A and B are shown apart, each in its own frame.
Chain A
Amino acid sequence: DSGVTQTPKHLITATGQRVTLRCSPRSGDLSVYWYQQSLDQGLQFLIQYYNGEERAKGNILERFSAQQFPDLHSELNLSSLELGDSALYFCASRGPLAGGRGAKNIQYFGAGTRLSVL
């Protein structure tokens, strides 16, 4: 168990809909990362938050947005869903910068949310 919790595990929805994925990082971790894993694109970094603020953006579509709340959990919002958005969405958390070299460089992954858009 990595200590990172993602809900729900599975999500089935229709095209055009909007969904919210939730992530709770490991206790004490300030950073949250979101990734998308699909057969054709592999593992793609979407966005990162650190202590409530956006820190880095990857290949995130404009239809997608995220935020990190004061209790450090994060939500990824996917709207106007298309068939191609079907994928596994992972959240990962990383330790604080004040930690050792390992703490601030190792990401721990949740079990993922499998999104199916029909």
Chain B
Amino acid sequence: AQSVTQLDSQVPVFEEAPVELRCNYSSSVSVYLFWYVQYPNQGLQLLLKYLSGSTLVKGINGFEAEFNKSQTSFHLRKPSVHISDTAEYFCAVTHGSGSARQLTFGSGTQLTVLP
């Protein structure tokens, strides 16, 4: 079965500092990987995705992530965070095939940007 591990449940960081949110997955087959963001009292919004091709993927709001197959990781980074980036971030991996494909989510990382 697929699993996703987000190593940090809470990450506090000062404004304009860089941040890395870590994600590791387990899979024996090809995977598609995602990061979603959930702002307070809102639904999940797709931040970025890895489907194929370049292992460095860029998303919205200046975020990027690097797919590392050998380390089974998909860490999320931003060089300089803003107060508005305060949110919960979820890493997810697809599994299944055909019409039954699903997402397995990590437990989430709460990013708090401090002034």
Contact = CB atoms under 8 A, between A and B. Distances in A.
Nearest to A110: B43
Contact of A42 (B32, B45, B52, B107): B107
Contacts of A33: 102-103
A104 B52 CA distance: 14
Contacts of B18: none
A110 B46 CA distance: 12
Given A42-B107, A42-B108, A56-B96, A105 B43 contact: no
Nearest to A97: B99
Interface of B: 32, 34, 36, 42-46, 49, 51-52, 90, 94, 96, 98-105, 107-108
Interface of A: 2, 4, 30-31, 33, 42-43, 45, 48, 50-51, 55-56, 58, 90, 92, 94, 97, 101-102, 104-112
Given A56-B100, A109-B43, 20 more contacts: A2-B45, A4-B43, A43-B105, A45-B102, A45-B104, A45-B105, A48-B102, A50-B99, A56-B102, A92-B44, A101-B51, A101-B52, A105-B32, A105-B49, A105-B51, A105-B101, A109-B44, A109-B45, A112-B42, A112-B43
